[in-house]
A and B are shown apart, each in its own frame.
Chain A
């Protein structure tokens, strides 16, 4: 079946602009995760959704970052007033109840 999909695959934006990143999880997967991978920082957790609620937002780096999930499916990660340090690959993963997480292809964000 189809895997996790993310869009756009690449995004170049100017400092100060807002961006929206989209994740479409594997059909039927109830849990959805956002991670960020940047050079020198490794892969870090941002936020977790169970259904449409986000019990764990502990990894969001600042209040410029927010995320929502609707219909227990698609999720959007929004970064407001982007900064150069936001440049990274944003990865989405989903899982069905259990622990095994499957990653999407990622969105490569470059803030100029």
Chain B
């Protein structure tokens, strides 16, 4: 079992709709969670981080964390074609140095 799992997609959503991305992790000691967006041929760009159970909103993005169920999700409201990218879930399991363990990413395609 991979430490951080994501559905590879592609997740196809119409413009203006909500895109819902899920990520599960195996280590119950995981302390913090990150969502990165990666356009094709580019490096990962931080979108959000979340440490506590519940929801965290930033503009059109909402991160949701449920430590009991070991999942973290990302909602993208009013999806735009420019949101088409691969979204990477990353987990800090609390190891020294805060190294991140990444999921394989979910490819999102927003259709006009």
Binding site for B on A (CB under 8 A): 31, 33, 35, 42-45, 48, 50, 55-56, 59, 89, 91, 95, 98-106
Complex CA gap A105/B104 in Å reads 19
Report B10-33 CB contacts with A as 1/0, cut-off 8 Å.
000000000000000000000010
Q: Contact: A101 with B100, CB < 8 Å?
A: yes
Complex CA gap A104/B46 in Å reads 11
Complex CA gap A55/B99 in Å reads 11
Binding site for A on B (CB under 8 A): 32, 34, 36, 42-46, 49, 88, 92, 95-105
Complex CA gap A109/B92 in Å reads 27
Subset of 29 A-B contacts with CB under 8 Å: A31-B97, A31-B98, A42-B103, A42-B105, A43-B44, A43-B88, A43-B102, A45-B99, A45-B100, A48-B97, A48-B99, A56-B95, A56-B96, A56-B99, A89-B43, A98-B98, A99-B32, A99-B34, A99-B49, A100-B34, A100-B46, A100-B49, A101-B46, A102-B46, A103-B46, A104-B43, A105-B42, A105-B43, A106-B43
